Amino acid sequence: MKPTAVRIYNYLAWSYRKHESRFIDWLWNINTGEKRSDAIPGYSDGHACETLYYWHLKKIFKYLPAREDDVFVDLGCGYGRVLFYAATRGFKHVEGYEIRKELSDQIKINIDKFETESFIEVELCDARKVNLYRVTVIYMFNPFGIDTLRQLMNRIMALNNSIRIAYVYNESIDCRDYMDGLPWTGIEQVPGLPCKIYSFVPKPLYFTEGI
């Protein structure tokens, strides 16, 4: 394909995805498309608030099928787009954690207007302090740097629970490489996106009785 044709194609693809996302927000009577500064008082490891288009989420969630009793969590959930999309994909219990108050307040407004049979909850909280004991599926769109990511993953691995993590690393190659180096049961690249699905299933414990 010629360079000009590529530019035209990329523009049309971007335009379609942008307007599709606006339409879905309108259809669901919610607002999830804004951006905010990454300035967080007392927290130097946070990244800018941004979200993927619904077109990208469709691709990612093909690798995250909802299972019975799944608890889905978005760490650094912004305006909650992923929370609402997860609710339409069969996850009955959906939780979001966001450290910026203005964003978590907007999600609560969206929840009041969003019609779903799923239970959606949002909490103003530092991701390093979230109770992860019941969590089985985690979504992260590059919400923070390597220091916070290490602290979080140390806690998750210490639980030794079955878990799936969709991690959109964007341009944070150091975070991606760190995630790749953990003892996962499986790693799957989402085609065409800077996102990997990390799975961990603990080995069963076998006990033998003494004679």
**For the segment 66-99, what is each residue's pLDDT rounded down to a tens digit?**
998 999 999 999 889 999 999 999 999 999 999 8
| Ramachandran sector of residue 59 (left: φ over 0; alpha: ψ -120 to 50; beta: rest) | alpha
Q: Distance between CA atoms of 78 and 208, rounded to whole angstroms?
A: 49
204 pLDDT band (50/70/90 cuts)? confident
- Token pair in block for residue 20: 């599709």
Which amino acid is residue 173, in one-letter code?
Answer: I
User: What is the mean predicted confidence (pLDDT) over 180-191?
Assistant: 97
Sign of CA dihedral 63, 30, 73, 172: positive
- Token pair in block for residue 46: 């946070």
Mean pLDDT of the chain: 89
- Token pair in block for residue 50: 């941004």
Per 3-state DSSP, the chain is made up of helix, strand and coil in percentages (nearest 5) of: 40, 20, 40
Per residue in 89-138, pLDDT (tens digit) is 999 999 999 988 888 898 999 999 998 888 999 999 888 889 999 999 99
Q: Distance between CA atoms of 144 and 149, rounded to whole angstroms?
A: 7
> Is the separation of the CB atoms in 137 and 73 below 8 Å?
yes
> Is the separation of the CB atoms in 33 and 130 below 8 Å?
no
Length of the chain: 211
Q: Which architecture, in CATH terms, is 1-211?
A: 3-Layer(aba) Sandwich (3.40)
Q: Distance between CA atoms of 144 and 99, rounded to whole angstroms?
A: 11
Q: Distance between CA atoms of 78 and 113, rounded to whole angstroms?
A: 17
Residue spans of the domains in the chain: they are 1-211
